[in-house]
Chain A
């Protein structure tokens, strides 16, 4: 999962970045509204966390610009302006969720998880479930037939992405784009290695390889 964090307060951004990276997200950070307006629309993010009081361009305008440009990425507004009138304004501009500062990091993580599930049509699940697997995003482990399987951070990130896109064909480059932030080295071989690890832990049939096309997560749906 690749997130864009737009926040101009550096200490808070540092805190958020650290927390989000611990949660296994690839995060790009921007502090200026104009940069955000451009980069949010061009890079393939899975979710955007947007502060409203930004230098360069107000967050609301950035959001309106994205939405009028047809961007459908879920956007979570994170702001100190917590009145209901402002909340309504934010959601009217096209936000998917609204959190007011200060907040607990755990709550933010839960909101991000549920927003991502909702964005992928899995709205009414307390946990991410797909193909008989239950992903515990807090503990970064997966349950299969009632038995808990431990995952490494990289495996967790990959499996979460697969589970949110169950049944879809995902190319290696697509996976690399969504699993690594803008500054990491993208090596598609690494993905291959992690796919193999997941197969070893959860069974071969769980991820199907389509030659020259990519992977398809199906799990043991049968």
Chain B
């Protein structure tokens, strides 16, 4: 997933890098230019001084040593000259064993020349006409210290630039995370919604997010409302179908029909089929499934009521117990879960001798619901058959198989699984494994 924060940082870093490098490099270049221009004039002055040192002596032209600056006498001092007359040429003592090569054109040479001890020479040539002959003077100056200070400046600029970049990035992170905090809050709330820890998003959000949050809340309310309405409609439909069915079932037990056992038998079986089909289809249609993200089932508040209902139905002779972590909330619709647990526990109560236990625990992959009873249990060989019974709608299912059918529908809708095993209480253990919802 791409994060806005990372994209902003990346954009900012690249823009700052490009601009910063361009700026630093071009200012260095400009500085270098102007410095060379300045040095050119000093070198030009130097050639004029040297020209002045060329005097006519007893043996023709000669160089007046006294007029030369001391730097020309110290070897590798950083200042050099070479004076070429028509038939002789002089070189400064500072050159020592090196040669100052001539350059073709007058003026400052663009490229730096290599000198001794890693020196980089800036070479200037000036042509003069004196005493009736051409005098070509080359002056060289070591540019190396300036280059060194340039690279030092470059390093300092780089260091400053990097620390400025880091500072800017940190500030940007701070600003962006501050600006995006409402977004992060909405993201966290959506996660909570998915886990069933809340049923609405907070309305207190910045203007930009308001339509989004309002729309999500509206959708949630709408889904919940639709579910409620469709459940209500299904209830009405069930009422409308089941009440006449109850009349028919009652009529089928009439004395008059006892004379016609075959007719009564087929009447009963058809009525039973209708009844089961209606119960199953209505049960299926009632399922919220995963439609409601905010749905949740609060174990501590729902289970006691379910268990007191079961006690009321099955009497006090059963010891019913449930165990769940304190404050455990399952992220599924309350009615669906009640239907699932109600049917499974009801079955367990029907078969149990004295004890029924429910354990709900969170496991890594989701939740596990375990129902134990101390009844006769189901033989290993028959377990698969019991599980597959009622998995198809058109199958005729008897008594408690129907309850299991609805349980299967619910578990399937949630992508879970159902297993039968032997219980430590000697009866049957039904284990329902429910995976966490995809977020």
Contact = CB atoms under 8 A, between A and B. Distances in A.
Contacts, number: 93
Interface stretch (B73-81, B242-250, B425-433): B242-250
> Which interface residue of A53, A88, A98 has the most chain B CB atoms within 10 A?
A88
Given A105-B253, A106-B253, A85 B338 contact: yes
B245 A105 contact: no
A189 interface: no
Interface string B329-353: 0000011001101110000000000
A104 interface: yes
B309 A16 contact: no
Contacts of B248: 102
Report which residue of B247, B248, B315 has the largest number of chain A beta carbons within 10 angstroms of its beta carbon: B247
A96 interface: yes
B109 interface: no
B312 interface: yes
Interface string B63-101: 000000000000000000000000000000000000000
Nearest to B286: A83
Contacts of B271: 102
B409 interface: no
Interface centre among B236, B245, B283, B309 (most CB of A within 10 A): B309
Contacts of A11: 244, 247
Contacts of B242: 80, 82, 100-102
Nearest to B239: A80
B247 A15 contact: yes
Tell me which of B238, B286, B341, B343 has the highest count of chain A C-beta atoms within 10 A of its own C-beta: B238
B312 A91 contact: yes
Contacts of B241: 80
A137 interface: no
A80 B214 CA distance: 38
Contacts of A88: 305-306, 309, 338
Contacts of A222: none
Contact of A81 (B235, B244, B313, B341): B235
Contacts of A104: 249, 253
Nearest to A81: B235
A16 B250 CA distance: 8
A9 B341 CA distance: 32
B279 interface: yes
B256 to A, nearest CB: 12
Contacts of B308: 91
A12 B250 contact: yes
20 contacts: A15-B246, A15-B250, A16-B250, A19-B250, A80-B239, A80-B242, A84-B309, A84-B335, A84-B341, A84-B342, A85-B334, A86-B235, A88-B305, A88-B309, A98-B313, A101-B242, A101-B246, A102-B242, A102-B246, A106-B253
Given A12-B246, A84-B335, 16 more contacts: A12-B247, A80-B235, A80-B243, A81-B239, A83-B283, A83-B339, A85-B334, A86-B235, A88-B306, A88-B309, A101-B242, A102-B242, A104-B249, A105-B249, A106-B253, A124-B317
Q: Which 9 A-B pairs have the closest CB atoms?
A: A84-B342, A80-B242, A102-B246, A80-B239, A15-B250, A101-B242, A102-B245, A85-B335, A101-B246
Interface of B: 235-236, 238-251, 253, 271, 275, 279, 283, 286, 305-306, 308-309, 312-313, 315-317, 334-335, 338-339, 341-343
